[in-house]
């Protein structure tokens, strides 16, 4: 199998740069006229897959919205992963895991080992127990040609407390993380498999930050669409770097019509071209 970076580069070339989140908020289920039950969850999630997965490069289910229903919800998540991949989309499972040692390895096996029913092309992880704590995830991703999106500069207002803090050498903590990604992706073509989550709503003071963001890996940019960031913001912040503009509600509000979901995905793709 090709590396995740190579598969992602090909998927973006073929389908554009939209990452479609399938996040079954209770309020969205209600908007679709569905009950906040496992049956409502399954109808919502698989309808979203049908309308979105054939037209976007990446589907990103947020695990928590399935886990809240217990084992039955996790079973729906397994179906979402399988159906999305069958439709030709890559899957980034949004789990934001971060732990140490054997626990990290267990998480990595759960989400990246092809023998697991939750196996995905990539996952989100947190490096803020120290980047070295991610080694089991990194090693497992390399073993199975999967990818990681490491939290870097997130869009939540609390993020800067840690991410903008500086080390003893004066380097911003987030930039230390980007440096580790640069090392992991060195020499990879056409794209490294280790990316970062960088919010599309972050404030930037010009283009000098692009050097920090240029770690030869993909950028997952939440905050696009309903959260306020526009296609112009994506271009302003990230330039010509490889970016997946992530949107959930902005697409899902078009449901429950499958054709309306498709049209929303295509229109969003075209806005980013």
For residue 207, pLDDT over 60 is answered with no
For residue 164, pLDDT over 70 is answered with yes
What is the residue extent of each domain of the chain? Answer: 4-272
Peptide bond just before 170 cis, omega within 30 deg: no
Q: What separation in angstroms does the CA of 176 have from each of 137, 158, 163, 183, 262? A: 18, 19, 10, 11, 39
Peptide bond just before 175 cis, omega within 30 deg: no
At residue 5 the predicted structure's pLDDT band, cuts being 50, 70 and 90, is: very high
Residue reference for tokens 């934001």: 96
For residue 88, pLDDT over 90 is answered with yes
- Per-residue confidence (pLDDT) for residue 12, from 0 to 100: 98
- Per-residue confidence (pLDDT) for residue 80, from 0 to 100: 98
Residue 204 makes CB contacts below 8 A (sequence gap 6+) with 236, 237
> Which residue out of 96, 135, 143, 253 is catalytically annotated?
96
For residue 240, pLDDT over 60 is answered with yes
The pTM assigned to this predicted structure is 0.96
CB 107 within 8 A of CB 126: no
Task: Give dist(CA 109, CA 126) in Å, integer.
Answer: 16
- Per-residue confidence (pLDDT) for residue 272, from 0 to 100: 95
3.20.20.70, 3.40.50.300, 3.30.43.10, 2.40.360.20: which CATH number matches 4-272?
Answer: 3.20.20.70
Residue 193 makes CB contacts below 8 A (sequence gap 6+) with 3, 4, 5, 8, 122, 141, 142, 145, 146, 147, 148, 184, 185, 217
- Per-residue confidence (pLDDT) for residue 155, from 0 to 100: 85
- Per-residue confidence (pLDDT) for residue 210, from 0 to 100: 84
| Average pLDDT value for residue range 51-58 | 98
- Per-residue confidence (pLDDT) for residue 209, from 0 to 100: 75
Provide the β-strand partners of residue 147: 122
Q: What separation in angstroms does the CA of 56 have from each of 85, 91, 158, 264, 267? A: 11, 11, 30, 11, 11
Q: Is residue 60 flagged as an active site residue? A: no
- Per-residue confidence (pLDDT) for residue 204, from 0 to 100: 58
Q: What separation in angstroms does the CA of 112 have from each of 100, 208, 229? A: 17, 35, 31
For residue 206, pLDDT over 60 is answered with no
- Per-residue confidence (pLDDT) for residue 208, from 0 to 100: 60
Residues in the chain: 273
The more confident residue out of 204 and 130 is: 130
For residue 193, pLDDT over 90 is answered with yes
- Per-residue confidence (pLDDT) for residue 46, from 0 to 100: 98
At residue 126 the predicted structure's pLDDT band, cuts being 50, 70 and 90, is: very high
At residue 236 the predicted structure's pLDDT band, cuts being 50, 70 and 90, is: confident
| Average pLDDT value for residue range 165-179 | 95
């Amino acid at each position: 199998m090709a590396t995740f970076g190579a598969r992602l580069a090909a998927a973006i070339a073929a389908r554009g740069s939209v990452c479609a989140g399938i996040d079954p908020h209770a309020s969205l289920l209600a908007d679709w006229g569905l009950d906040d039950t496992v049956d409502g969850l399954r109808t919502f999630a698989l309808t979203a897959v049908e309308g979105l997965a054939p037209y976007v490069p990446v589907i990103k289910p947020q695990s928590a919205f399935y886990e809240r229903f217990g084992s039955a919800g996790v079973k729906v998540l397994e179906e979402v992963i399988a159906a999305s991949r069958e439709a030709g989309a890559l899957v980034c499972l949004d789990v934001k895991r971060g732990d140490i040692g054997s626990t990290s390895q267990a998480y990595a096996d759960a989400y990246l080992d092809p023998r697991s029913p939750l196996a995905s092309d990539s996952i989100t992880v947190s490096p803020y127990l120290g980047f070295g704590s991610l080694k089991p995830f990194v090693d497992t991703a390399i073993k199975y040609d999967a990818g990681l999106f490491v939290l870097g500069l997130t869009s939540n207002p609390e993020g800067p407390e840690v991410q903008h803090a500086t080390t003893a050498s004066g380097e911003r903590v987030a930039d230390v993380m980007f440096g580790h990604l640069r090392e992991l992706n060195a020499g990879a073509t056409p794209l490294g498999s280790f990316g970062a989550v960088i919010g599309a709503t972050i404030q930037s003071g010009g283009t000098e930050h692009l050097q920090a963001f240029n770690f030869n890996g993909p950028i997952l940019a939440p905050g696009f669409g309903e959260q306020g960031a526009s296609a112009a913001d994506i271009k302003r912040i990230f330039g010509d770097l490889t970016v997946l503009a992530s949107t959930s509600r902005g697409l899902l509000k078009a449901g429950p019509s499958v054709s309306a979901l498709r049209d929303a995905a295509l229109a969003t793709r075209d806005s980013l071209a």
